[in-house]
Amino acid sequence: SAVISQKPSRDICQRGTSLTIQCQVDSQVTMMFWYRQQPGQSLTLIATANQGSEATYESGFVIDKFPISRPNLTFSTLTVSNMSPEDSSIYLCSVGAETEAFFGQGTRLTVV
């Protein structure tokens, strides 16, 4: 199993600013995943973060808006840049294997 510490748990931010979300895993993992859950919606994968290489972004998500860092095998950050109210969502990091997945506690972001 894996335990993921994610912070902040929630934040209220002004439009036009940026927020960096951190995830720390208690074991080394090859890939970490970042998801977004917009209000009333399902979870959508933003990107896959690999250590030592650039993140792989899903369709509709770009690096300029959601830059990701992965400096080592236990840590990753996601930045939500130049925020607008449409970015108000829950952001989750995750690690997984073939038979199970583990999530951070989530970051509830409100942009005003």
Partner 1 sequence: GDSVTQMEGPVTLSEEAFLTINCTYTATGYPSLFWYVQYPGEGLQLLLKATKADDKGSNKGFEATYRKETTSFHLEKGSVQVSDSAVYFCALINRGGKLIFGQGTELSVKP
β-bridge partners, 34: 47, 93
Q: Is 92 in the site for partner 1 (CB under 8 A)?
A: yes
Residue 17 Cβ vs partner 1, minimum distance, rounded to whole Å: 25
DSSP per residue, 15-29: TT--EEEEEEESS--
Q: Residue 27 or 84: which CB sits closer to partner 1?
A: 27
Decide if 65 contacts 81 (C-beta within 8 A): yes
Binding flag, residue 64, partner 1 (CB under 8 A): no
1 binds partner 1 (CB under 8 A): no
CB of 16 to partner 1, least distance (A): 28
What is the bridge-based pairing of β-strands 10-13 and 19-25? Answer: unpaired
Does residue 35 interact with partner 1 by CB under 8 A? yes
The token duo for 58 is: 């899903």
The SS3 of residue 60 is coil
Binding site for partner 1 (CB under 8 A): 31, 33, 35, 41-45, 48, 90, 92, 94-101, 103, 105-106
